[in-house]
Amino acid sequence: MTDPMLIDADQLRAEVRDKYRHVALAPAAEHHFHTGRRHAALHGDDQAHVGALPDRAVESFAGVANPFSLAPLEPGACVVDVGSGAGFDSFVAAHHVGFAGRVTGVDMTPEMLAKSRATRELLDLPHVEFREGFAEALPVDDASADVVISNGVFNLCPDKRAAFDEVFRILRPGGILQFADIANGRDVPDDALRNIDLWTG
C-alpha cells in the first residue's frame, strides 16, 4: 500500500478527475496512454462485440489490460465496475451477463458519467446504470455484487487498501474480483511517489 502521507489525496483526486475529463471530451488528443478501438484490440477484447459498439462507447477507453481475459462473466451475474469511465468495460460486461444480469458502473468524473449514461440510453441497456462515487466509498450495498471489475483504476487511488476493502465489502461471499491494472517490476523511490505528475502521466 502506498503511504497516504506521501501525497495529497485530494490533490491527486482532482488531477485524476481533470485528466479523465480530458479523455472523455477529447479522446483522440495526445495522452500518455493509448485510447480507443486499437487499444482495446491490443488487449484482446472480444472484437465481434467491440466492433458492434458505437464509437462513443469505445473512443475514451483507456484501460491497461483485459479484465475478462482470465474468465468470462457468468450470465445473470450482478456486476459492479469500479471507475467505469465512459463505460466500455461496463458495456462488455453487460454483453457477458445478458439482460438477466445487472451492471453498475461507478465513476467520480462528471464528464465520464454523462458520456456513459448517454451511451447506455443509445444502446438501450436497462440492466446497466452509472452512479457517481469514489473507489474508497462505493455507493453500493454490502454483499450485493457477484463480480467486481475494474480497469486501470486502483493504481490511481492514494489508499489502495481502502479501495480493496470496499470491494470486499460489496462482494457477496464467494464473489469474484477480476480487474486489470498496472504493476511495476522496479521499486519506485519515495521522491517519485511524491510526484503527482507521475501518478497521472
Which of 14, 26, 52, 70 lies at the binding interface for another protein (CB under 8 A)? 70
Please select the residue that binds another protein; options are 26, 42, 52, 122, rule is CB under 8 A. 42
Q: Does 49 bind another protein (CB under 8 A)?
A: no
Indicate the residue among 25 and 182 with the shorter CB distance to another protein.
182
Among 22, 31, 127, 194, binds another protein (CB under 8 A): 31
Contact 153, 82 (CB under 8 A): yes
> Distance between CA 8 and CA 34 in Å, rounded?
27
Tell me if 107 sits within 8 A of 85, measured CB to CB: yes
Helix 88-97 × helix 110-123 angle, to 10°: 40
User: Which one of 123, 129, 178, 194 is in contact with another protein (CB under 8 A)?
Assistant: 178
In angstroms, give the least distance from the CB of 84 to another protein.
17
Angle between helices 110-123 and 9-25 (to 10 degrees): 40
Work out the number of other CB atoms within 10 angstroms of the CB of residue 166. Answer: 22
CA-CA distances (angstroms) from residue 163 to 27, 34, 176? 27, 25, 15
The nearer residue to another protein, 21 or 43, going by C-beta atoms, is 43
Is residue 152 close enough to count as binding another protein by CB under 8 A? yes
Binding segment for another protein (CB under 8 A), chosen from 24-32, 77-85, 86-94, 130-138, is 24-32
Instruction: Kindly tell me which of 57 and 148 has the beta carbon lying closer to another protein.
Output: 148
Among 65, 108, 118, 123, binds another protein (CB under 8 A): 65
Give 131 or 178: the residue with its C-beta nearer to another protein.
Answer: 178
Residue 77 is classified by DSSP as: -
All three cell numbers of 34: 493509448
Cα–Cα distances (Å) from 162 to 18, 31, 156, in that order, read: 22, 28, 12
Binding site for another protein (CB under 8 A): 1, 30-34, 42-43, 63-71, 152, 160-161, 164-165, 167-168, 171-186, 188, 192, 198, 201
